[in-house]
Structure formats: C-alpha cells, structure tokens
Amino acid sequence: MKKVLLSEKIDDAGIDLLKQNGFDVTVAPDTDVDSMKAAIADAYAVIMRSSQLPAEVIAAGKQLKIISRNGTGINNVDVDAATKQHVLVAKVNGANAFSVAEYVMTTMLMLSRRIAETDQTLRDHKTELAGVSLPGFATANNLNGHELRGKTLAILGLGKIGQVLVKLAQAFGMNVIGYDPYLKDAPVKLYDSLTDIYPIADFLSINMPLTPETKNMITSKELGLMKSSAYIINSARGGIINEADLAAALNADQLAGAAIDSFNPEPPAADNPLFTSKHTIVTSHIAGTTQEANAALGTGAAQAIIDFSNGQMPEFPVNPTVFDN
C-alpha cells in the first residue's frame, strides 16, 4: 500500500478520497526538518499545506514520486530540488477562489464602514449611552463610513481569484481596474504600469504570488503614491508589502486602513508593527480556508496523487517535464 504523508492534516474529504483509492494516509508528527525527514523516508507522496519542504527533506524521500500542494502557492516547496530528484510537484488552482474573493469584499466593507472601530467605540462607551442618539454618537465619534459604490478597486493579479473578485466588486457598483503582466485579455481595464494604478485606487487588492519579482514590491515609495483615503487588502502572500513601511504609513495617516491576512514571516513575530498600527485588520491566513474551500483543496490535492498513480498527468503540474521522464 502506497503511503501518502500529510505535513499537516488536510480536510477529511481529501483523506477519505485517498483511502478509498487504496492509499495509506499518515500525518507527520511535526513539521520541523528532522520530523519530516523521518516521516517522508518511505512515502510515495506528500501533501503540503503552509509549512516548508526544503531540499534536505525532499532528498530524504527515497521513494517519493509526487509532492501535492494543498493550495495554489508553491513558495514553500523547493521545486528545483524536487525536479532534480525527478519528483513531480502539483498544486490546486481555483478551489478557494470564491473564498478569497469573499474575504476581500468582507474586509473592504469592514474598513470602509468602520465596523471594527464602531464595535470597539460602542463597547468602550457603553455606560454613557443612556438617552444618547446612536446616529449622533456615530457622527460625534467619526464612525460614519463610506459606500463601496463608485469607488475604484485595483486588483493586482487577475487569475482565478482576481476574476471572481471582479464580479463581486462590480455587483457592488465599483469601478474595477487591474494589473497583470501575464494576461492579455481581461474583463476590466488593464494597466501596464503600477505607478499609474497607485494614485487612482481607492482600494488595492493584492492577489499575486510571492516571486522574486513581487517580493517587497510595495514599500514606502509606492505607498506614498496612494491616496490618503485609500485602503490595502493583502490576501495573497506576506513579503509582497514591506510591513514596517505599511505600518508607518498607516500610523502617519498616509493611508486610511489595511487588511492583512498573510505575513512575512509566518507566524508573525509578537513585535510585528501591524499588530499596533492604526485602522488595521489582521487575520490568521483565513482568506482561503472556509470549510467549503478546505474540502475542495483537500480533494484536489488528493486527486493529483490519484491521477499520478494511475499514470495520468495531474491537472495542475508545476514541473511537468518530470512526468515525461
């Protein structure tokens, strides 16, 4: 029976699918290098979530044939090392696209309507509310926010997530524009230069992978080009935005707010400046992890292994030349 190692537990739907197809499924006792090296030694396949899979762990997988990523991003897997060892790397595309797009819409609404501030201010003044007009209270405390309608949303990265987000934002009456150097046709106006986008965006949604080109892409220089009334939402990967620069811009009121779901590194350190920056929503990498998305990701990652075992190319290979060899 072929062993499938899970670096971390995936959704039960994926585990059940593997077992139904005759695989032995084991969850690693820990994600540190030594634990993974021991657990991967006799594994036919491994499914990775967010933990790292470095070259030395891959090398320890003497029977390893396929690495399946329980998600879209592959920055936590050493693909070059896998390729040299003739191990196929596959991923799952689009399974959590609606979940992430919904997160962006949720946080845009929370930021623009000042939901978190209103909740906290009301709690802080609960003993002073007798006889007070609540609409007057909101006005006095600057809690009246803005509609999304008519605002410009700039989406950086118009893949599956970005394209779902376009539809949701347009349903709210937003003007949607985009940037994606790898896309020729898009449902919205595409800009060739990010410097043209920053000054006109009311909301900036980052939906790009972390690559050498996107690492530290947004710093104080780029933030300085944006409106002081603008908001940033990063539901992609930490490292694309310089966190110290973003926190400084928020604290200086150079931006109106931000929602950050991914950090660099993860987990974030206790002294990460975004924990204390003004008008900032921080979440624990939940954008793409609704129960529905988790089930789709788990079954997608499992299906890649099943297909490979049956001699078929998985739907979303990363290094497909390995399959030919």
Tell me: do 233 and 265 sit in the same domain.
yes
Tell me: do 248 and 113 sit in the same domain.
yes
Q: What percent of the chain has pLDDT over 70?
A: 100
> What is residue 286's predicted lDDT score, i.e. its pLDDT?
96
Nearest alpha-carbon partner for 48 in 76, 20, 22: 76
Tell me: do 101 and 174 sit in the same domain.
yes
Tell me: do 105 and 78 sit in the same domain.
no
Domain of 315, CATH number, reads: 3.40.50.720
Tell me: do 179 and 267 sit in the same domain.
yes
For residues 159-166, give the mean pLDDT: 96
For residues 86-90, give the mean pLDDT: 98
Q: How confident is the model at residue 303 (pLDDT cuts 50, 70, 90)?
A: very high
Domain that holds residue 12: 3-95+291-324
> What is residue 127's predicted lDDT score, i.e. its pLDDT?
97
Enumerate the active-site residues.
237, 266, 285
Q: State the pTM of this model.
A: 0.90
> What is residue 323's predicted lDDT score, i.e. its pLDDT?
81
> What is residue 291's predicted lDDT score, i.e. its pLDDT?
97
Tell me: do 214 and 82 sit in the same domain.
no
Angle at 215 between CA 213 and CA 220, to 5 degrees: 115
Tell me: do 307 and 266 sit in the same domain.
no
For residues 72-89, give the mean pLDDT: 95
Q: How confident is the model at residue 325 (pLDDT cuts 50, 70, 90)?
A: low
Tell me: do 109 and 48 sit in the same domain.
no
The helix/strand/coil state of 312 is coil
Distance between CA atoms of residues 268 and 280, nearest Å: 15
Tell me: do 14 and 60 sit in the same domain.
yes
pLDDT tens string 230-253: 999 999 999 999 999 999 999 999
Edge to edge, the sheet with strand 45-48 lists 24-27, 3-6, 45-48, 66-69, 88-90
pLDDT tens string 94-115: 999 999 999 999 999 999 999 9
> What is residue 50's predicted lDDT score, i.e. its pLDDT?
86
- How many folded domains does the chain comprise? 2
> What is residue 178's predicted lDDT score, i.e. its pLDDT?
98
> What is residue 261's predicted lDDT score, i.e. its pLDDT?
98
pLDDT tens string 200-239: 999 999 999 999 999 999 999 999 999 999 999 999 999 9
Q: Is the pLDDT of residue 324 over 80?
A: no
- Please name every residue paired with 233 in a beta bridge, in sequence order, or none if there are none: 205, 259
Mean pLDDT of the chain: 96
